[in-house]
Structure 1
């Protein structure tokens, strides 16, 4: 799915071209297939290098994919439903690209989102949850250092009407998934599970990048 085109555009440091490719692919194949078939493999390959230019390429690729996903976040089947979903990175977590993929995928199914972005303090998440009365809140952690189980459990306890769902590899790396599971929180390990937590859309998809 034009994996090499994405990498070539990123190596040219052309984030606009990367975004254009992502928009074209999502229009043809949908967000989910584009994310798993092109974006994730390209990100993994770009991240395999360790040189200064490789880092620049990875940043351009991430920026272009993010822009393309934002442009693709348009409902295709009519009006947005009312059951909006909060999407937030845990405090200190800067990797919000997988949440952009989830947001764009949900828009295809007429599920609106409240994307709060990276590094969301718990107090800000509590305020947003109270304001939106969201049915589901997906909290992303990429690394063990940002997987604050105590903060998540305390926030979830304050809003029993909202289903809080930890997502990303950080929770697993921190070894806190069993405690979260015992508290009734489902750890989302794939885009399939993340979509299912917000709407019943049974299609297996890889979320991690």
Structure 2
């Protein structure tokens, strides 16, 4: 079937500078600056018309974004993006801020370069780059540092952005959360012989849907070679208590993101749930984790870790003593 007359082929679809900026999550000013300073611009131009960016032009810009997000100076990144010969490095811009900014960027503040790159890739919805950055972060920094210094600041920035902009950035936060979860599970589920001994149970409180922090704990425990069981979000109270009786854990971490899901009665019941034969009965230590738990927990067997590193240290001592 022939193409309708007057309709350009799909492969030739093009974008304006504003459209390209929105797609890549940078400001139009940044795109124009790159075009003016480094020659990263449309290959073809029509006199008297707005510049139009072809798919090939956009691909060069995407490569430019990836390279600058990794800390490559803009001039060098431009040469690499165009497929030029090996470049001569040039100085970075003042303050080391070489990557694109503008109103579309996620404001992450003073963070590691990996976090800035992750935030920018997420805004571009660049799944390949998001995955690469997260994989390198977990492999090179370890799960704890990657979570604390790379993942959390980017996730918080995405949350603040869509809260301020309405639903405009929800897709960015969802994409980023999914890839963070994938990266953490890759660490937590590494193949090999399962660690022996009483496990740590990880569970979201009834009604609690947030599980990324628990997945970070699971990844940290896996790196330490410590056994755990992950039950995920919104675990019903009786199911949690039955899991304690069935597995005989040394510790139970129950996560609450907000105060309405922080059930102190259930926390005490969990700490009081015993297992084992007569004369050798034991009870778990319960770690109430997350911002939903305010103040200091009351009752025997209850602990309140302040951060991931502190929680892993407590758990490690419980399992090795």
TM-score under structure 2 length normalisation: 0.57
Confirm or deny: 8 A CA contact 1:169 1:189 kept in the other structure.
no
Q: Is the 8 A contact 1:85 1:136 kept in 2?
A: yes
Q: Does 1:194 align with 2:311?
A: yes
Distance (Å, rounded) in 2 between the aligned partners of 1:84 and 1:145? 28
- Write the mapping of 1:153-172 to structure 2, written as runs, cut at 5 A: 153-159=268-274, 160-172=282-294
Matches within 5 A, 1:33-182: 33-49=145-161, 50=163, 51-74=166-189, 80-159=195-274, 160-172=282-294, 177-178=295-296, 180-182=297-299
Taking the aligned partners of 2:158 and 2:222, their CA distance within structure 1 comes to 28
- Is the contact made by 1:90 and 1:148 (CA closer than 8 Å) also made in structure 2? yes
**CA offset digits 1:115-142 (Å, max 9, x no partner):** 1000011111112112211111000001
Q: Which residue of 2 aligns with 1:25?
A: 137
Bigger Rg over Cα: 2
Q: Which structure would you say has the larger RCO, counting Cα contacts within 8 Å and 6 or more residues apart?
A: 1
**What do you get for the CA RMSD once the two structures are aligned?**
2.2
Gaps of 5+ in 1: 202-209
Equivalent residues of 1:138, 1:164 under 8 A apart: yes
Offset at residue 16 of structure 1 (A): 5.5
1:101-127 per-residue CA deviation (whole Å, 9 max, x = no partner) reads 011011111012101000011111112
Q: Structure 1 167/109 Cα, relative in aligned 2: closer, same or farther at 3 Å?
A: same
Q: How many residues align?
A: 196
CA shift at 1:162, angstroms?
A: 1.2
**Residue aligning to 1:205:** none
Instruction: Determine the C-alpha separation between the residues in 1 that align with 2:213 and 2:227.
Output: 16
Structure 2 stretches lacking a partner, 5+ long: 1-111, 275-281
1:8 correspondence with 2:120: yes
